[in-house]
Amino acid sequence: MIELNTKKSEAFMERARKVAPGGVHSPVRGFRGVGGTPRFIASAKGAQLTDVDGNSYIDYCMSWGPLLFGHQDPEIAEVVREALTRGWSYGAAEPLSLELAEFMTHEIACLEKVRFVNSGTEAVMSALRVARAATGRPKILKFEGCYHGHVDSMLVKAGSGLAEMASPDSAGVSASVAAETIVVPLNDPQALEAAFELHGKEIAAIIVEPIPANNGLLLQNADFLPSLFRVAKKYGSLVIFDEVITGFRVALGGMAERTGLTPDLVTYGKIIGGGFPVGAYGGRAELMDQVAPAGPVYQAGTLSANPIAMSAGLAMLKKIKRENPYPVLESRTRELAASLEKALPGVQIQTDASLFWPIFAPLSSKKKVRTPADFPEGQKEQYSKLFHFLLSKGIYLPPSGYEVSFLSTAHDTASIQALVRGFEEFHQAHPLQKAP
Ligand SMILES: *Cc1c(COP(=O)(O)O)cnc(C)c1O
């Protein structure tokens, strides 16, 4: 394996560790999941990252999802440059957020009103508050393996029995906050029904990633999402789709559009800002009118709906509407997945839309991974080996075996072939399974 020169990244990391926890500002960036020194990135364009030592990588992490059209999409860049000439924060009503809100409520059937915030976490936190206010109930039901940002009540894990309340999954989350969350396994209608039998009248909302994509890509049975609506309806609870990844990734209207289901509330992040910090939550007008200043649910933001992020978001969504990139992205992802499985026997690629996730399970097993309980043994170790092998060949996958990769329209045939070749070469260097 050729060793890249990473001296500058190493030196930056040594300095960074002294002034930031673990040297980074979001945990997975620290490479704890794969080992080694994180690359400090100096610039990015299209599908390419360049680090401070001058190494270039084809990027399949893509800032964790926002960059559907790749880094520095020229259309977004131009709109943002132009917006900068008019000021970058007014702290007052302005027409850009109006235009974006009109665009979204027009395009997305389940969205009657929307409020912009600065991150996915904020969107989720606010939507949960609205759900509690609207129902007058305290509890939220979430699924084990779904991630909803770092709001306290979502940093929880399942208790040992069904009747058991969730417990904190992070230091600093109080047991009393965790006790307001109920955690059930994915893909298990009986567990869901049982949790509602016990707590139904206290459950304000079910929150779900309609494609769970933060703990690997956990593929659900077709009836999973509809079953949530049936149960919620029976007990008078709301359903919140956390579309921070799936929103504008699987369709302009996200999974709500693709499935034809109508969640009461929806949260967005990632693509909606085109790479700038934006989040949003919205849904039925009657629910959103609970939010201040229209209603009693307080939620505010100094930099919310700032004109730079709003301009970027608008440019992004308009380009999506004009170009409809989904059919091409999806067929490329499917082809890529098939080629990768061929290139590296012993690996299975789970995919949906333009998301893909390699799992290290023999192809012969062909069992889908649907919950964290299905994770194959050795996933972390094998993925780390693959990650570093590819990194040395100029390919940057997400630095964790439990994070999904993202395809963008900037990934051309050459970058896709490079990934397939990387898998082939990995197979030659580290065969996982004897060829049949
Ligand atoms: C990324 C993500 C979040 C958190 O968004 P941030 O902008 O990182 O706060 C919440 N929910 C889902 C489904 C996500 O993928």
Cis omega (within 30 of 0) for bond into 307: no
Domain 7-68+325-429 has CATH 3.90.1170.30: no
Question: Which atom from ligand 1 is nearest to the alpha carbon of 245?
Answer: 15
- In the chain, list all ranges with CATH 3.90.1150.10: 7-68+325-429
User: What is residue 363's predicted lDDT score, i.e. its pLDDT?
Assistant: 64
User: What is residue 435's predicted lDDT score, i.e. its pLDDT?
Assistant: 47
Spatial CA neighbour of 97 closest among 317, 307, 268, 319: 307
11-33 CB burial, b ≥16 within 10 A, e <16: ebbeebeeeeeebbeeebbbbeb
pLDDT digits (tens, 9 = 90+) for 58-90: 999 999 999 999 999 999 999 999 999 999 999
The closest residue, in CA terms, to atom 6 on ligand 1 is 120
Half-sphere exposure of 226 (CA within 13 A, CB side): 6
User: Hunting for tokens 């139904």 — which residue is that?
Assistant: 200
pLDDT digits (tens, 9 = 90+) for 223-269: 999 999 999 999 999 999 999 999 999 999 999 999 999 999 999 99
Best of 117, 211, 214, 272 to mutate for ligand 1, by most ligand atoms within 8 A of CB? 214
Question: How are strands ordered across the β-sheet holding 395-396?
Answer: 41-45, 48-51, 56-59, 395-396
Question: Which atom from ligand 1 is nearest to the alpha carbon of 209?
Answer: 13
User: What is residue 367's predicted lDDT score, i.e. its pLDDT?
Assistant: 84
Asked if residues 248 and 272 have their Cβ atoms less than 8 Å apart, the reply is yes
The response to whether residue 120 sits with its C-beta less than 6 Å from ligand 1 reads yes
Best of 124, 276, 403 to mutate for ligand 1, by most ligand atoms within 8 A of CB? 124
Q: Which residues contact 245 (CB under 8 A, 6 or more apart)?
A: 65, 209, 211, 213, 214, 270, 355
Distance of alpha carbon 409 from alpha carbon 396, whole angstroms: 17
The response to whether residue 214 sits with its C-beta less than 6 Å from ligand 1 reads yes
The response to whether residue 281 sits with its C-beta less than 6 Å from ligand 1 reads no
pLDDT digits (tens, 9 = 90+) for 380-413: 999 999 999 999 999 999 999 999 999 999 999 9
pLDDT digits (tens, 9 = 90+) for 93-105: 999 999 999 999 9
The rounded average pLDDT for each run of 10 residues, N- to C-terminus, in the chain (436 residues) is 87 98 97 96 98 98 98 98 97 97 98 98 98 98 97 90 78 95 94 96 98 97 96 98 98 97 98 97 98 98 97 98 98 98 95 97 80 93 97 98 98 98 96 60
Q: In 177-278, which ranges are E strands?
A: 181-185, 203-208, 238-242, 265-268
User: What is residue 365's predicted lDDT score, i.e. its pLDDT?
Assistant: 72
User: What is residue 436's predicted lDDT score, i.e. its pLDDT?
Assistant: 43
- In the chain, list all ranges with CATH 3.40.640.10: 74-323
Task: Classify 74-323 by CATH class.
Answer: alpha beta
How many Å lie between the centroid of ligand 1 and the Cα of residue 277? 11
Distance of alpha carbon 35 from alpha carbon 381, whole angstroms: 10
User: What is residue 425's predicted lDDT score, i.e. its pLDDT?
Assistant: 98
User: What is residue 145's predicted lDDT score, i.e. its pLDDT?
Assistant: 95
